[in-house]
Amino acid sequence: MIAIGQAIFGDNLFGARIASAATTAATLGLISLLARRLWNDPWKTWTACLLYMSYGLAAGQAGYANIDPQLTLWITLSLASAWYALEGENPRERWTGWCLLGVACAMGFMTKGFLAWLLPVIVVMPYAILQQRWRELLKGGPLAILLAVLLSLPWALAVHQREADFWQFFFWNEHIRRFAGTKAQHAAPFWFFVPMLFAGALPWTLLVAPSLRRAWREKKERRSAFLSLWFAMPFLFFSLSKGKLPTYILPCFVPLALLMANTLVDKLRQRDVFALSGNGLFNLVTGCLALLCLLIVQVVHPIYIGQPLQLTLAVLVCTAWAACGFAQWMRPTRHWFAPALGLWVLIALLPAAMPLSVVDNKMPDQFIARHLSELKGSKSLLSNELVAASALAWRLDRSDVTLLDVQGELQYGLSYADAEDRKVTSEAVGRWLAERSQKGPVGIVLDLSGKSGGAAPSWIPPGADVFRENNLLIVITRP
């Protein structure tokens, strides 16, 4: 999907990110469909969509080039289909639900692996048992499994034929070791996702607990039971995993939006606005504190130097957040939706409001793009940071970037014998540079963050062209 986006819109950031926006929009469509089916209440349907699209984590990922929004789409489709399969009003709905469940599991599997099969299982099986729907599960479940396997099999066999070692690595390293290994990548404690849940739910943080509390009280009711299991089981599974990243729990925000919409709309109809007022006050205080901290930091240790536009936008973001919180606090029944506006202002303006030092360090692509003409003549390429190496490869349309003292997620591939010349250490980089310089110019992109106080390394040859932006360094050596 990302490749299609770039084929249509070009090799640019918009082309790379459009897949995330499109899959998020499709997820919203599924939320609307399921909410309408669950409650047949237009207000709750519209509110569920608004909440999901204004959760900080969901809205942020909608404009970010990764595959978590795609996985969320397939997980949402699989569990929405499971609801129709188990609770459909007629056989046609139920069998269609089982078929779509199999298709969604296959698409999710080809997107991010066995997780797309596991998550529906740990939600659907407990629900079917608790709600005495196990007969429906036994009838339709095999069809969903068969479809998922048949749709995935050609791709799986093609991968095996191309690279026979892939499945051993993919299953054991990317699933088992990441879940249970003592040296799992992105290791974090069991409670890691609890604060991530409340942070990701901004600006609706104070409505999370009331919504989950109501779902617990109504756990015997079919709709609440299904949505609660949809939220709780993946959340628990990811919490048990050794490796954790905040985006892993993105699929949990779909049932959270549905549960929260149900609670929020009912409270508004009952004129019970205590939680809403508290949430508005929380956002008001948060916006004011952010603005105060920004001004203090700017006075004590300026982060915006000669950047009046960026500073103005940052102040505007904090002010808008506080103003929207104030509106909800003062008039919760009329302006209950105001925090969503504050979040959308943040999403729209924050990238342009970031200090250039942060932009350069977190998005080396822009720095590389500004010096593309100098880098294009390089016969060899070198980088000490994976994001910078990726940006270098993408901008130059080349894959021959040598990695300096870094492996990260490429460790497995770099352990192959035919990848020995794709990595070099600091001790050997001088010799490597001398050898490559004999063949032509060498283009080097270095991230100096936390390395020798940000000083340029001593092995850079004299006479090289050096360009620097904060902690990023581009070096062009001459033969």
Would you kindly state where each structural domain of the chain is located, as residue ranges?
2-269, 274-354, 362-477
**The token pair that represents 309 in the structure block:** 């536009």
Cα separation of 384 and 123, whole Å?
Answer: 43
Cα separation of 150 and 144, whole Å?
Answer: 10
Please give the pLDDT value at position 369. 86
Please give the pLDDT value at position 165. 85
Please give the pLDDT value at position 182. 63
Q: Closest by alpha carbon to 242, among 322, 179, 319?
A: 179
Whether residue 227 contacts residue 258, with contact meaning beta carbons closer than 8 Å, is answered with: yes
Residue 197 exposed, middle or buried by CB count within 10 Å (0-12, 13-18, 19+): buried
DSSP assignment string, 232-248:
HHHHHHHHHSSB--GGG
Q: What is the mean pLDDT of the chain?
A: 90
Give the residues of the chain that fall short of pLDDT 50: none
Please give the pLDDT value at position 411. 80
Q: Where are the alpha helices (DSSP H) in 191-221?
A: 193-200, 208-217
**Residue environment code for 256-273, b if the CB has 16+ CB neighbours within 10 A, otherwise e:** bbbbbbbbbbebbeeeeb
Please give the pLDDT value at position 185. 67
Q: What is the pLDDT of residues 390-445, one digit of tens each?
A: 889 988 889 889 999 887 778 888 888 888 888 888 888 888 888 888 888 999 99
Please give the pLDDT value at position 450. 66
- The topology (CATH level 3) of 362-477 is Rossmann fold (3.40.50)
Cα separation of 33 and 103, whole Å?
Answer: 18
Distances (CA, A) of 164 to 159, 167, 169, 422: 7, 7, 10, 22
**The token pair that represents 428 in the structure block:** 């050997």
